Amino acid sequence: TFVLILTIITVLKQLNFLTITLFIISLAVWLLVQYFFRDPDRNALNEPGIIIGPCDGTVTDITHILESQYLHAETMRIGIFLSVFNVHVQRAPIAGEVTLVEHQPGKFLPAFNLDASKENEYIAMRIETEYGPLLVKQISGILARRCVNYAQPGDRLLTGQRFGLIKFGSRVE
């Protein structure tokens, strides 16, 4: 926004090809960033037994795994790839109490790669629900270098409540 304002001031003070070009480029970048960080409202069904997707994106894999780090149980992992065209805000898939939020440093492999789940930087959040524990992982990708999670252990989340975002392409499990 600051750069856009500076280019507008520059165009108003000195109108020429260079200032107009800089204005057009800064406007295009500003519009792309506004589009990328959009956060539309969602109407989540808050009914017993309903689990919603924690994000927009493409389901890339559904796999039975032994999750030994956070859940210590056999579970189903659903991997969702978020391209730069998806909304990158994450929402609680089901109501419950947050019992763990842990940042794990790592690599920045492409998020559609299955190895990204184990090797990339991520934030793991465990939610205790009335049906048992649920784990949500926000995984950074090759462009996404920053996962943000606003939830803290002890917080109660409602189904569909915003809890974080990943900047510039990513994976959520």
Residue 59's Cβ-count burial label (10 Å; 0-12, 13-18, 19+) is exposed
Is 83 one of the catalytic residues? no
**Residue of 82, 172, 86, 84 lying closest to 134 (CA atoms):** 172
Q: Give the Cα separation of 8 and 120 in Å (integer).
A: 40
Q: Give the Cα separation of 101 and 44 in Å (integer).
A: 23
- Three-class DSSP category at 106: coil
**Structure tokens that stand for 61 in this block:** 């894999």
Q: Tokens 């790592």 label which residue?
A: 106
CA distances (Å), 78 to each of 8, 38, 57, 136, 141, in order? Answer: 46, 24, 12, 10, 17
Q: Give the Cα separation of 96 and 38 in Å (integer).
A: 26
Active-site positions read: 170
